[in-house]
Amino acid sequence: MSRAPLELIVGEARYRATLARSFCGFTLSMGVLALALIAGLDVDPSGYLLALLALFVALGIATGLFGSGWPPTAIVIFTVFAAGVVLFALAEFGRDYESFAAIIPPAVAACFLFYSRLQAALVGAILIAGYAVVLNYSNFAEAAEPWLIVTGMTLSFSGVSAWIAAQLQGLADAERAAAAEVERLAGELAGANERLRRYVAPQVAAASAVDDATALAPHRRRIAVVFVDLRGFTRFTAGAEPEDVVELLGAYYATVGAVAHAHGATLGSYAGDGVMAYVGDADDAPDPPGAALDLAFALAAPI
């Protein structure tokens, strides 16, 4: 189901409250306008019309006070009631005030901005059909002509509003799809960055994540190289099972990698039990030899 343009503009969280306040403002302004017309045009409305106008304004005030928690469908129903009040007034005032029907096209067009397209079309259909009943009830000699004029204007105005609503819906769908794609790519990048951290220093992984070309470009830097080797490894492998060798190397690499990364070193290569680490390459360390000694002492205990 399509979403109301107003909801796309203000957001789902604020849509109900904004819709309720808008309907309240509409009912109050229409009530004041109706009273001004009754007084200024010297018409004598029936008690039924005055009661309907009073109920119409009361509904608007109640909607403004409590409507933020109501479903939008309730306000659509109130809008249909408002359409009924307008039609009743047209029927009561009669042919002398036929021009009042000009309110129908912009009112229906506005519905396409406040409600979904299906709900707005329902309100428009009720108004157009009701206007035909009003013309017949008022015994207009040429009822078809004003009905066709109002209907044509309503369809034209509503078509433009519906097109605008469809464009806003398309933009909102595209924005949601783009946001979902960005979130998916961000998740993939975070996963790739986490996997990269297993093999390179955190500084290198961070530079890769933000596409820092200067950090990854070829450069000259004073560094220190640490070589790590397991004493007696060759003798151990001669009599050990392959599974035991693989298990030992896995634990050994994990230990060396964790300690090296903690000291900002970059692992250069693995060759059996030999590991080579660069100190001062990932970041511009002030004392690479001293940092390399700290790394060597830090590796001695766990190994």
Structure tokens at 251: 């634990």
Local confidence band at 181 (pLDDT 50, 70, 90 cut-offs): very high
Q: Which of these, 75, 78, 115, 88, lies nearest to 34 by C-alpha position?
A: 88
pLDDT in tens, 140-151: 556 677 788 888
160: in domain: yes
93: pLDDT strictly greater than 80: no
Local confidence band at 240 (pLDDT 50, 70, 90 cut-offs): confident
248: pLDDT strictly greater than 60: yes
Last residue of a domain, one of 179, 194, 227: 179
Domain count, the chain: 2
**CA distances (Å), origin 226, targets 61, 63, 119, 205, 274:** 79, 75, 73, 20, 10
Is there a single domain that holds both residue 24 and residue 172? yes
Q: Which of these, 125, 123, 156, 170, lies nearest to 2 by C-alpha position?
A: 170
Is there a single domain that holds both residue 256 and residue 118? no
Is there a single domain that holds both residue 14 and residue 136? yes
What's 238's domain CATH number?
Answer: 3.30.70.1230
Q: pLDDT averaged over the chain? A: 80
Is there a single domain that holds both residue 95 and residue 30? yes
185: in domain: no
What is the structure's pLDDT at 203? Answer: 65
Structure tokens at 73: 């469908």
Is there a single domain that holds both residue 108 and residue 173? yes
Tally of residues, the chain: 303
Cα atoms in the 13 Å half-sphere on the side-chain side of 31:
18
Structure tokens at 193: 């960055």
> How many helices and strands in the chain, by DSSP H and E?
12, 3
Is there a single domain that holds both residue 166 and residue 221? no
pLDDT > 90 in the chain, percent = 2
Local confidence band at 204 (pLDDT 50, 70, 90 cut-offs): low
What is the structure's pLDDT at 54? Answer: 85
What is the rounded CA–CA span in Å between residue 128 and residue 154? 8
What is the rounded CA–CA span in Å between residue 17 and residue 12? 10
What is the structure's pLDDT at 237? Answer: 84
Task: Look up the pTM and report it.
Answer: 0.55
pLDDT in tens, 48-76: 778 888 888 888 888 888 888 888 888 88
Structure tokens at 19: 């819709």
Domain that holds residue 222: 217-300
